Amino acid sequence: MTAQSITLIKPDDWHVHLRDGEMLKQVAPYTAQQFARAIIMPNLLPPVTTTAMAVDYRQRILAATQDYPDFKPLMVAYLTDDLDGKDLINGHQQGVLTAAKLYPAGATTNSSHGVTDIKHIYPVLEAMQKQGMPLLVHGEVVGDDIDVFDREARFIDDVMQPLLKDMPELKVVFEHITTKDAADFVMSAGDNVAATITAHHLQINRNDMLVGGIKPHLYCLPVAKREQHRQALRKAATSGHQKFFLGTDTAPHAINAKESACGCAGIFTAPHAIEHYAQVFEEENALDKLEAFASINGPKFYQLSINKDHITLIKKDQQVPEKTIDKGLSIVPFKAGEILAWQLQAD
Ligand code: DOR
Ligand code: ZN
């Protein structure tokens, strides 16, 4: 018999872009409604690089999610070539900073302040290793000579492997993996290496984005790859293996910034994030593994407690709205206008 409802330990989202200002107010409640905690990406303008900035940003997030008082944003510092390592470690010791994020310079949205050469930040990474503070990586190598579809695989050889050789105890999350290469690498690495997987990379390949007309709302970074990679990601996510956990990388941009001659990268999955994942796990006959992926593997890696609350998803069609609109700001969600098979039950 196929499942008609499923109850899970309340999930966490280990990779979220909440933005700031009016955008923050519009998008944050979607995440807070479904997830107990979320790892908040620091790629604002200017980026969140200090403990003090993270404290302020956390306040703004809490204000935007006041209807969900149990929601806990977990803050992340954005690593730059000249970041103050002392402040970073202090921020972690005080419980303000959960992790630090490595954006290779130029890799993605607001990454111009990112790290130009990982060697520049070796002293900071060594301090993080000692402290047990996780490093979250946007795993793409950027260069004029590197094909955009090869950026992730190249990152493994050029950056990840040498880094882990030099710092074998560093806790690393390979964020939003998109290739079989990355899934295999994470599986073969030590327990200190894990990965997040987005709902959209489980659902789309590059044909979905490019065949029959270019679909700007399916453009994200790392860009979706060939079908064989999507299949490898589905296998990894639905395996229940502790190295893989939920991270939506929901990345909202205003509609005009997406539907543009030079459209921004990012897919807005937040409104139905957990339902998108449920659909994939059901298709793979692995609904029994969804709880491990969404609610258990992440906190285990971060050495945090597993949530006490539960959520229930019911098998009931619902239509994704064409757009979410607030104060004149419109955002097109993933699968806009389409029917989803699962629905999160209201509290
Ligand atoms: O598609 C993406 N959008 N990938 C990223 O790495 C950043 C994100 C954003 O901030 O828009
Ligand atoms: Zn991201």
- Which phi and psi angles does 137 have, rounded to 5°? -120, 135
What is the CA(3)–ligand 1 centre distance, in A?
Answer: 34
Does residue 17 line the site of ligand 1, with CB under 6 A? yes
Q: Which domain holds residue 327?
A: 5-344
- CATH number of the domain within which 279 lies: 3.20.20.140
- Distance, in Å, from the CA atom of 217 to the CA atom of 336, rounded to the nearest integer, reads 9
> Ligand 1 pocket check: which of 151, 249, 262, 331 to mutate, most ligand atoms within 8 Å of Cβ?
249
In order along its 347 residues, the chain shows pLDDT tens digits of: 577 999 999 999 999 999 999 999 999 999 999 999 999 999 999 999 999 999 999 999 999 999 999 999 999 999 999 999 999 999 999 999 999 999 988 877 777 888 998 999 999 999 999 999 999 999 999 988 999 999 999 999 999 999 999 999 999 999 999 999 999 999 999 999 999 999 999 999 999 999 999 999 999 999 999 999 999 999 999 999 999 999 999 999 999 999 999 999 999 999 999 999 999 999 999 999 999 999 999 999 999 999 999 999 999 999 999 999 999 999 999 999 999 999 999 87
Is this structure's pTM higher than 0.85? yes
Tell me the H-state helices in the chain.
21-34, 51-64, 85-93, 122-131, 151-155, 161-166, 180-188, 199-203, 206-210, 227-238, 255-258, 273-283, 290-291, 297-302
β-strand pairing of 72-78 with 97-102: parallel
Q: Whose CA is nearest to atom 4 of ligand 1?
A: 221
pLDDT given at position 312 = 98
Bond preceding residue 46 cis, omega within 30 of 0: yes
Does residue 109 line the site of ligand 1, with CB under 6 A? yes
Tell me the H-state helices in 45-140.
51-64, 85-93, 122-131
pLDDT given at position 170 = 98
Closest CA to 181 of 218, 151, 156, 161: 156
How many independent structural domains does the chain possess? 1
Tokens found for residue 151 = 């950026």
The minimum-distance atom of ligand 1 relative to the CA of 175 is: 6
What is the CA(244)–ligand 1 centre distance, in A?
Answer: 20
- Which phi and psi angles does 227 have, rounded to 5°? -55, -40
Q: Which residue out of 12, 13, 181, 249 is catalytically annotated?
A: 249
Beta bridge partners of 100: 77, 135
Tokens found for residue 257 = 């910034």
What is the CA(308)–ligand 1 centre distance, in A?
Answer: 31
pLDDT given at position 114 = 87
- For the question of residue 56 being annotated catalytic, the response is no
What is the CA(15)–ligand 2 centre distance, in A?
Answer: 6
- Distance, in Å, from the CA atom of 250 to the CA atom of 199, rounded to the nearest integer, reads 9
> Ligand 1 pocket check: which of 39, 43, 112, 155 to mutate, most ligand atoms within 8 Å of Cβ?
43
Residues 78 and 66: beta-carbon distance below 8 Å: no
pLDDT given at position 3 = 78
Beta bridge partners of 344: 313
Does residue 251 line the site of ligand 1, with CB under 6 A? yes
Residues 236 and 286: beta-carbon distance below 8 Å: no
